[in-house]
Amino acid sequence: MNRNQLIDHVARTTGLEVTSATEAVVAVLDGIAGAVAAGEQVTLAGFGTFEARGRAARTGRNPQTGEPIEIAATTAPAFRAASAFRARVASR
């Protein structure tokens, strides 16, 4: 499912116009991204938790030459699914 399909789903299930559903989906996604970028966790009960996780600096290898390279520390977004979400996917 992509963003447009999600917007269509929200519009169908809520009875909203597509423009209102678009605004709602964009607002939710923007809110989640903004909070995670600010270092906050976003927890949606029964769905999961979005957070920023730090990755330590490390030594890697250039796959073409095999030469060691230093990979800088970074922060990346992460998602941890709630147990109800995992159970729903597993029962599929």
Predicted local confidence at residue 59, as pLDDT? 96
Does domain 41-91 bear CATH number 4.10.520.10?
yes
pLDDT value, residue 38: 97
| pLDDT computed for residue 92 by the predictor | 83
Instruction: Give the chain's residues under pLDDT 50.
Output: none
Put simply, whether the predicted model's pTM sits higher than 0.85 gets the answer no
CB atoms within 10 A of CB 36: 20
Side chain identity at residue 86, one-letter code: R
**Closest alpha carbon to 74 in 44, 45, 53, 49:** 53
